[in-house]
Chains A and B, each alone.
Chain A
């Protein structure tokens, strides 16, 4: 099993641009999570899905952030427009039962 796959691994963009982060969960997993990690705030849960349906998006910082899961094998996190304070490592994770597995993350830098 390839594990959780995220792309791109690194993204550098200018303020105001749209950024799309992608995630392919582990096959058979029914939960998908998006996290953000920064030095200042640690690891924050942004949103999670169960069977492709968003369950809790209370961690999404503001309307500039949106996430979709059109099918069981793909999810996106979009930031539009991006701002320098969005710079962080964004992780996708998927789980089945009580084991949650993380992807390698996307390091986003907004200049």
Chain B
């Protein structure tokens, strides 16, 4: 969506860290999400962060939020070939409410 921007493509080597970035324009965003989509599948909710948080860590995933710059990032540590997919960031203003999605970043992990 035009309110959420992501780079189209990222390529990393297996074992390296991946950092996927997202910028958004709506300062009233309350919840910010990361979804993963593998070929032929639906979107899988990976993690999300509430706007009053700066960071959230969940196993190999780290989400960083810079509210001043309206920048959200997802870091995947020790990236594996199974992490190859399209990653979408999204935001909503209210719990349970509609999500606005970015265009997705295709992550390719080379062995």
Contact = CB atoms under 8 A, between A and B. Distances in A.
Contact of A95 (B35, B42, B88, B96): B96
B95 A42 contact: no
Given A42-B1, A42-B101, A42-B104, A99 B43 contact: no
Given A95-B96, A98-B31, A98-B95, A42 B45 contact: no
Contacts of A103: 42
A98 B101 contact: no
Interface size of B as a range: 20 to 34
Given A33-B98, A43-B88, A104 B41 contact: yes
Interface in B80-111: 88, 92, 95-99, 101, 103-104
B44 interface: yes
A105 interface: yes
**Dominant secondary structure at the A interface:** strand
Contact of A101 (B31, B45, B95, B97): B45
A97 interface: yes
Nearest to A47: B98
Interface residues of A, number: 23
A102 B44 contact: yes
Contact of A99 (B41, B48, B103): B48
Nearest to A104: B42
Interface string B6-44: 000000000000000000000000010101000001111
A20 interface: no
A30 interface: yes
Q: Which of B43, B88, B101 gathers most chain A CB within 10 Å? A: B43
Contacts of B95: 97-98
Contacts of B99: 33, 45, 100
A40 to B, nearest CB: 11
Interface of A: 4, 30-31, 33, 42-43, 45, 48, 50, 56, 91, 93, 95-105
8 contacts: A42-B101, A43-B43, A98-B48, A101-B45, A102-B35, A102-B44, A104-B41, A105-B41
